């Protein structure tokens, strides 16, 4: 049954009150806070399976939690208010506001992501149209995304590779060139991940798993620990799960989101997914310009003037079906 506007307002009000009481208990230890709320803590959702959540406290302890029915579904990366009970179990009583979230096929996958990293490789060789499909999805979701070019040791012409990706760097994307096998640029890449939460995306075979294992050398131990604490067993390996990177930062990983495809987007959404097009949108002669064959099109003029790379414009046309 759908909630009425008044019911939604009441639920939001109750959650706001719980968050406020938990903050007072943590910061001020006010005398007027009820006893059950004095035990409330802020926690980080590590993984969920069904109605169960594994929540990490600020001190690093893991709690097997259930959520109140009137609370929105929480996922890996969410910040929540929870109350510990016995035997490292607890109850989630409120969901803190999200900075952003990632969905796939209308299913909520992860929250509070600082960086998406699209991983491509020399072998299997990167495809520009596919890269742009990922970028368009991320741009429309308002998720920061950058690019990793992996397996660069396999390139016979690295100058050409850098030339290929210069159009993305010119558009404002951070491009990192890595080799896990030869440890090329790995150390500096790890430093860049510090203090942030990341997700790796990309097609099968580009080396995502090798990169993840490089960042989290004890991944199997972490998986086993989370499986034990959450009682999820083998399901943990297929769930979206947050791991702490040894050198700093966090990684949200799930086989189900590593290879997500382009959603059903409108032509307007595809257009807005090309970030370097945005300064020219609305400057065409015709208000309904599709930027294909129309005269005095600002985007086509920008391509001719070198402000938009011809390959990016070509990929835009491919994505809208021209």
pLDDT band at 231 (very low <50, low <70, confident <90, very high): low
pTM: 0.80
C-alpha closest to that of 164 among 121, 117, 201: 121
Q: What is the mean pLDDT of residues 70-82?
A: 91
Helices (H), 216-306: 219-230, 267-272, 298-304
What secondary structure does DSSP assign to 125-182, as a single string?
BP-HHHHHHHHHHHHHTT--EEEEEE-GGG-S-HHHHHHHHHHHHHTT--EEE-BTTT
**Higher per-residue pLDDT: 230 or 301:** 301
Choose from 5-9, 28-32, 155-159, 258-262 the range with maximum mean pLDDT.
155-159
pLDDT band at 239 (very low <50, low <70, confident <90, very high): confident
Q: How high is the pLDDT of residue 225?
A: 67
Q: What CATH number is given for 5-95 in this structure?
A: 2.40.50.140
Residues 6+ away with beta carbon under 8 Å from 89: 63, 64, 65
- Helix, strand or coil for residue 303? helix
Q: How high is the pLDDT of residue 37?
A: 63
- Give 241-277 pLDDT, tens digit per residue: 899 998 899 999 876 555 555 567 889 999 999 999 9
CATH architecture of 101-253: 3-Layer(aba) Sandwich (3.40)
**Higher per-residue pLDDT: 2 or 209:** 209
Tokens of 19: 């968050």
* Domain residue limits, the chain: 5-95, 101-253, 274-319
- Give 124-160 pLDDT, tens digit per residue: 999 998 899 889 989 988 999 999 999 999 999 999 9
What secondary structure does DSSP assign to 73-109, as a single string?
---TT-EEEEEE-STTEEEEEEEPPPS-EEEETTEEE
Task: Quickly tell me which residue has 């990016």 as its tokens.
Answer: 312
Task: Quickly tell me which residue has 């149209």 as its tokens.
Answer: 129
Q: How high is the pLDDT of residue 194?
A: 94
Q: How high is the pLDDT of residue 224?
A: 66
Rounded distance between C-alpha atoms, residue 284 and residue 287, angstroms: 7
Tokens of 224: 């086993």
Q: What superfamily does domain 274-319 belong to in CATH?
A: Probable gtpase engc; domain 3 (1.10.40.50)
With vertex at residue 143, the alpha carbon angle to CA 198 and CA 59, rounded to the nearest 5 degrees, is 40
């Amino acid at each position: 049954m759908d909630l009425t506007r008044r019911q939604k307002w009441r639920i939001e009000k109750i959650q706001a009150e719980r968050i406020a009481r938990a903050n007072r208990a943590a910061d001020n230890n006010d005398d007027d806070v009820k006893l059950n709320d004095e035990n409330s803590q802020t926690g980080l959702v590590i993984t969920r399976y069904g109605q169960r959540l594994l929540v990490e406290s600020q001190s690093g302890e893991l709690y097997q939690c259930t959520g109140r029915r009137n609370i929105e579904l929480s996922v890996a990366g969410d910040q929540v208010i929870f109350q510990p009970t016995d035997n490292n179990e607890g109850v989630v009583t409120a969901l803190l506001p999200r900075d952003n979230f990632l969905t796939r096929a209308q299913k909520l996958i992860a929250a509070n992501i600082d960086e998406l990293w699209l991983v491509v490789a020399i072998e299997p060789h990167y495809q520009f149209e596919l890269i742009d499909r990922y970028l368009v999805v991320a741009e429309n979701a308002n998720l920061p995304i950058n690019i990793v070019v992996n397996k660069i040791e396999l390139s016979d012409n690295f100058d050409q590779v850098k030339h290929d990706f210069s159009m993305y760097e010119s558009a404002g994307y951070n491009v990192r060139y890595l080799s896990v096998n030869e440890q090329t640029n790995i150390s500096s890449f790890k430093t860049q991940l510090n203090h942030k939460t990341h997700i790796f995306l990309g097609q099968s075979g580009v080396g995502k798993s090798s990169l993840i294992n490089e960042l989290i050398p004890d991944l199997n131990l972490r998986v086993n620990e989370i499986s034990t604490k959450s009682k999820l067993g083998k399901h943990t390996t297929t769930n979206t799960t947050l791991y702490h990177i040894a050198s700093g930062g966090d990684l949200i990983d799930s086989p189900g989101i590593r290879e997500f495809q382009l959603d059903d987007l409108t032509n307007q959404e595809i257009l807005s997914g090309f970030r370097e097009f945005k300064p020219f949108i609305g400057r065409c002669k015709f208000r309904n310009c599709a930027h294909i064959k129309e005269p005095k099109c600002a985007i086509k003029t920008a391509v001719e003037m070198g402000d938009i790379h011809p390959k990016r414009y070509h990929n835009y046309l491919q994505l809208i079906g021209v």
